Structures are given as C-alpha cells and as structure tokens.
A and B are shown apart, each in its own frame.
Chain A
Amino acid sequence: MKRFIGFLKKEFYHIFRDKRSLFILFGMPVAQIMLFGFAITNEINNVNIAILDKSEDVTTKEIINKISSSTYFTIEQFIINEAEIETIFKKGKIKAVLIFEKDFSKNLIKENNASVQIITDATDPNTASTISNYANSMLQKYQQEVNKSIEIPYQIIPKSRMIFNQELKSVFMFVPGVMTIILMLVSAMMTSISITREKELGTMEILLVSPLKPFQVIIGKVVPYIFLSIINAIVIVLLSIFIFEMPVQGSLLLLGVESVIFIVNALSLGILISTISATQQTAMMVSLMGLMLPVILLSGFIFPINSMPEILQVISNVIPATWYIIILKGIMLKGVGLAIIWKETLILVAMTLFFIALSIKKYKIRLE
C-alpha cells in the first residue's frame, strides 16, 4: 500500500508540475461554458436582410417598420431591382430579400389580397426556413391587426406551454453537452496519453519490473484524473447554476454519483485506448478523432438524435455520452430520480464493466 501511495504521489507531481496542461485542464471548461452561455446559440437572431419595395406606400412602410423593430431581422440595405439579389447573396452577408409587389396598398384594399415574395439564401437550410417562418408570422400578425374589426368565426386556437425550459434558453441545452464532452475528453484522452507516454519513453518497462502490481500501476495512473474530472464537473455545475441560472431540479447527490460513473466509464475507455496504441500520437488520434466528433455530433449534444437516419440512431446508442446526457438533462431540468433513469444508469455501468474487462484482457505485462 505504501508503495502504491508513493506511486500515486509521483503521478500527481507529474500533473501539477505541468503548468501549461493544468491551465488548459481547468481553463477549458470555464471557457467553453462561458462561450456556450454567452455567445453561442442555435436560435436565429439579427439576420441581415434586404428589401425591394416596389410600391413604397403607407402599408409597406408600416410593415417595414415592424420588421426593422424586431430582433429577428436587421435591414441592411434597400435594393431597387431583382438583378441585385444574386450579387448581394454571393457576397454572403445578406441572407434574405423581401419583395413587396407593385401597388401593395391598392391591392390589399381593393382586391383584399396583396403579396410579398420572400427570397432566401438557402445554403444554410435551417436559417432559411427559420427566416421564412419568422417573416410569415410577422406578416400574419400584421394581417390580423388589419382585420381586427372583423370577427372570424369557428377558430381553433392552440395554446402551447413550453415545459422544462420556459424561456427557451439554449444554454440549458448546451450545459449538459459541454459537461459531457469535457469529462469524456479529459478522462479518456489524458489517461490514454499518460499511459502510452510511459510506453513511448521506455519508463513503462521500469514500472513493470518494479514490485508494483500491473493493476496498481494502472489504478495509480487513473486516480489523479478521477480527482481532476470531479473538480471539473463541480466547476461546471457551479458556473451553470450561478451564472446561467440553470436549475438542478433533482438530487445533487444523484448527479454526483452518475457523474462519477461516467468519469470511470471514460477513464476505462482511456485505458482501453492505451492498451491498443503504441505511441502518444496514435493514442491522441484515436481519442480525439474517434471520440471528439462522435461525442459532439452523435450524442444529441447539438443535433437531435430523432432526426438522424435510422442507422445513426442505432450507433448513437453505443456512445456512453448519449446516455449521460439523457441522465444530466433528466436530473437537472426535469427533476427526475433514479426511478426513471435507472435504465440509462444501468447501461452506463454495463458499458464501464465491459471496457474494463476488455482492457484487462488486452493489457500486456510484457513488452514486445
């Protein structure tokens, strides 16, 4: 035991002496949470649009005023003919053009019908369809105002209630994701690299001939990162509670336990990666390229899993991060307990055991 503690000390020294890595290890979560909380959002606001007003009458002026006062659109310029649209789209700044037909007011009054053309730059399909939705709902609102005096009979009015996130803050969606990605990468990448580093530098041989048992070596390597990851998790949760007013509806204790399970899961994945790679470069490529993008894209962090093709939905099931994100959202936003998320927890535990078993099987005591 004493030997083991000595070894553990060595590992902590390694980590704490490397100031640069340490800075990133703790700076990263803070920077990412701040970015997601303050800067990055998947809402669409302040879209630059242009307007082609062929009638320039009272009604179109009124509509344009309404549009320019909304937060969705910024009117960047007025153009005078359709030919300009191509040029301004190619410059890339303006995403949509609204065209009011000639004699807009006159048509609206005399024929009860006037039309607006919305041309969008659909290279970004999501922005384009959202712009179209926004513009349509604004026009509809205006239309309702015009028709205020007329009571239309037989109306069905859907009343929507947004639950778990009334204000539709995107940070609520991102915090669980950021937490997952940081824990996954810190734990898996750092352990896999620190073990292969000993292999590459040749010091692994020394550790293996020492009286320490191989499993003690591995555990000694892993323990410091468990500590670091837990600290990171705590920092992230504190930041999201105090700066972004993200609620933790469920039990903090459960949140802690689940996080430790996930950290151990990521660490065992890291050990597994280190057993199959000989150099730090390989270990890094596997953990970065093999983990980072799948964790960002397939886990439901940014993109909804439901909308993916069937086969990717199946793949997303084998990514531990997917389950952890469900658990986090459940505890933090929905306030559920173990009664509801036992299945997800069980899957995480099973995956962890599987990774550990596999790495024990692959672990070589002798060097080739």
Chain B
Amino acid sequence: MKTILYIVQKEFKQIFRNKAMLPLIFALPLIQLIILSNAATFDIKNIKFSYIDNDNTSFSRALIDKFEASTYFNVVSNFSSEKIASSAMLKGDVDVILEIPSYFERDLLKNKKTDLSVIINAIDGAAAGVENVYINQIVRSFNRNAQAKLMQPSDLINKPKNITSITSFWYNKTLNYKTFMVPGILVLLVTMITLFLSGMNIVREKEIGTLEQMNVTPIKKHQFIIGKLFPFWVLGMLLLTIGLIIASVLFNVPMVGSLGLMYLYTSIYILVILGMGLFISNYTDTQQQAMFIAWFFIVIFILMSGLFTPIESMPQWAQFLTEFNPIKFYVEVMRMVMLKGSSTVDILPQFTKTLVYAIVMNGLAVWSYKKTT
C-alpha cells in the first residue's frame, strides 16, 4: 500500500510539474465544452432563401412576406431570372430558390389550382429535408388563409374530414439542443483526456528508458499499474465534476436524476478507458504509435456512439457493433440520468455491460504487462 502511495505521489508530481500540459489537460477540454456545445446543433435556422417573382402581384408578394416573417428563413436576395439564381446557388450564396410562376394569382382563381417551384440545395440531405418541411408549412398556412377568403358557400358541399394531431415534447419542451449535446460532449472530453494520457504514460517511460529502472525495483506489477492509473482516474472524476458544474451553471442543463448514480457509473467507466489505455501502451513502443492507435479507436467509438447521429438509423450489423462501444453506454447513461432521471434499474443493462468491460479490459491489460522487456 505504501509503495502504491509513493508511485501515485510521483505521478501527481510529474503531472503538476509539467507546466505546458496542465492547462491543456484542464482548460482546453472545458473551453471546448463551452464553445462546441454551442456549435453542435441540427437546428436548421437562417436558411439562405431567395426568390424569383414572375407574377409580381400583391398576392405573390404576400407569400414572400410570409417567408420574410419566418425565423427559419433569411431572405437573401430576389433574382430576375432562373439563370442568375442558379449561379448564386453554385457559388453557395443561396440554399433555397422559390420560383413563383407568372399568372400565379390568375391561375389560382381560374383553375382553382397552381404550382410553385422550389429548388433546394440537397448536399446536406437531412437539412434539405427539414427545409422542405418548413417551406411546405409556410405555403400550406398561406394557402389556408387564401382559401378561407376565396371560398364560396357553393364550394363547400362536402366538408372534408380532418385528423388533428397535437405533439408534446417531454423532458425538453423548448427543444433546446444544448441540453442534449452538453452531456454528450462532456463524455467525449472525459474519455479523450483519460485515454490519451493513460495510453501515452507508460509508453513514454518505455521510450525515454525509465521504465527499465522501474522494472528492476522491487515494486510489484499490480502496485505499479494501480499507482500509474489512479492519478488519471482522479483526473477524470475531477474533469467530470468541473464539466457538470459548467453544464448546470452556464447551460442550465437539468440534473433530474441522482448525482451519486452518475458518479458511481463514471468511476467504473473510467476504469474501462484506463484499462484500454494501458493495454495500448503495452503493445506499442513509441508515444506516436500509442497515440495513433488511441486516436483510431476513439474516432470510431465516437462516430458509433450515437453522440452526433442516431443509432436507430444504422443498419442491423452496425447496431450490433455498437454493443461493444463503451462510449455509447456512457453517452446513453449520462443523458438518461441527467435529463430523464432514470434510476439504477433503468440503466442496469448499461451498468452491467460496463462493469464486465472494465473487468475484461483491465484483466487483459494486467496480463499483457510484462516486467521484462
């Protein structure tokens, strides 16, 4: 026990003496939490909207006024011809072009039906889909008002049937995206910092040659490993704490569930990541290699974690693969506990899997660590 304490002491001293690293370990992740949580939103706002009004009547202008009034659209310009409009689209100046045909009003009155043509830049397919929905909503409501004015009693022989739907959004009534992203990005930062630091730590001693000195001391294998990893475990918990404070003070993210459960889960989760880091550093010779491998896995884990994109939309085989992704469990647990107040019973599946993962990972790491080179 005493030996472990000494190693822990040494590690902490090394961390705190490295004046270049210290701000990187603490400040960088937290600044990122603050900045990036604001950036990560799938909300579609300020759509660059333009129009070609071939009708130029008060009726067509009323439709355009509807778009101007909407908060989703940002009316950038009006074009005189489709040619000019498409070149603006190529340059990326506009994303949506609405073309109102000539005789728009006349056709509606005469033929009782008229078309509008809409061109949407669909490189970002998901955004294009949403933009299309917004456009349809605005046109529909404009249409409904127009109908109400134009309809004669004779038009209404049969009353159409109507299905109304009311949507309610639970747990996040205002659909605030930050509430969703902040816990996720916090997970990412805790994971990245602990994995990179633990992954590079032992291999650094290897590379510099000081590991050999440690190996010839009477320090036992388990003492060495515990002593090496414990400081990073503390660091991870500390980062979580600061991150949670920022989340609640700066972003007003609610903490509906139990804080204790959150910490209990995190304490086991960090063990998984540390075990992984140790395992990587056992199988590499240089810091460059270690970091590269850590980076490889972390990018894949992040992308497959449901942090940015939904897991349900993935094909079956990919969904199955995510069952081996510890970051996925943590992201889920964090969001469930913080935002919905899920209890221990609700997160039991994730909890058990993480625990098994921790045991297997650390077992492998300890087994593969050799005192001889």
Question: Which A residues form the contact surface with B (CB < 8 A)?
Answer: 18, 20-21, 24-25, 27-28, 31-32, 35-36, 38-48, 89-92, 95, 108-109, 112-130, 132-133, 135-137, 139-140, 142-143, 146-147, 149-150, 152-170, 172-173, 185, 189-190, 193-194, 197, 200-201, 277-282, 284-286, 288-290, 293-294, 297-298, 302-304, 306-309, 312, 315, 326, 329-330, 333-334, 336, 340
Contact status of A116 and B310, CB under 8 A, knowing A27-B296, A156-B108: no
B162 proximity list for chain A (CB < 8 A): 112-114, 143
B314 proximity list for chain A (CB < 8 A): 39-41
Tell me the smallest distance from the CB of A150 to a CB of chain B, in Å. Answer: 5
A200 proximity list for chain B (CB < 8 A): 208
CA distance A306 to B166 in the complex (A): 30
A312 proximity list for chain B (CB < 8 A): 35, 38-39
A89 proximity list for chain B (CB < 8 A): 170-171, 340
B118 and A160 contacting across the interface, CB-CB below 8 Å: yes
A39 and B318 contacting across the interface, CB-CB below 8 Å: yes
B133 and A20 contacting across the interface, CB-CB below 8 Å: no
B119 (CB) vs chain A CBs: closest residue? A161
B5 proximity list for chain A (CB < 8 A): none
B166 and A118 contacting across the interface, CB-CB below 8 Å: yes
Pull 10 A–B residue pairs with CB atoms less than 8 Å apart, ordered by A.
A18-B286, A41-B313, A90-B341, A112-B161, A123-B179, A123-B339, A155-B112, A157-B114, A165-B128, A330-B90
Please classify how large the interface on chain B is, using the bins under 10, 10 to 19, 20 to 34, 35 or more.
35 or more
A139 (CB) vs chain B CBs: closest residue? B163
Contact status of A297 and B39, CB under 8 A, knowing A115-B164, A118-B168: yes
A278 and B20 contacting across the interface, CB-CB below 8 Å: yes
Among B170, B207, B300, the residue within 8 A (CB) of A119 is B170
CA distance A89 to B341 in the complex (A): 10
Among B117, B286, B287, the residue within 8 A (CB) of A281 is B287
Asked whether any CB of chain A lies closer than 8 Å to the CB of B284, the reply is yes
Tell me the smallest distance from the CB of B245 to a CB of chain A, in Å. Answer: 20
A143 and B21 contacting across the interface, CB-CB below 8 Å: no
Asked whether any CB of chain A lies closer than 8 Å to the CB of B315, the reply is yes
Looking at the complex, which of B142-150, B214-222, B226-234, B236-244 is the stretch in contact with chain A?
A: B142-150
B43 and A40 contacting across the interface, CB-CB below 8 Å: no
CA distance A126 to B368 in the complex (A): 44
B155 and A153 contacting across the interface, CB-CB below 8 Å: yes
Contact status of A123 and B164, CB under 8 A, knowing A20-B293, A42-B309, A160-B135: no
CB-based closest 8 A-B pairs: A168-B125, A39-B318, A122-B169, A162-B122, A125-B175, A122-B172, A165-B122, A126-B42
A281 and B204 contacting across the interface, CB-CB below 8 Å: yes
CA distance A315 to B40 in the complex (A): 14
B310 and A143 contacting across the interface, CB-CB below 8 Å: no
Asked whether any CB of chain A lies closer than 8 Å to the CB of B132, the reply is yes
Tell me the smallest distance from the CB of B329 to a CB of chain A, in Å. Answer: 11
B139 and A156 contacting across the interface, CB-CB below 8 Å: yes
A159 and B117 contacting across the interface, CB-CB below 8 Å: yes
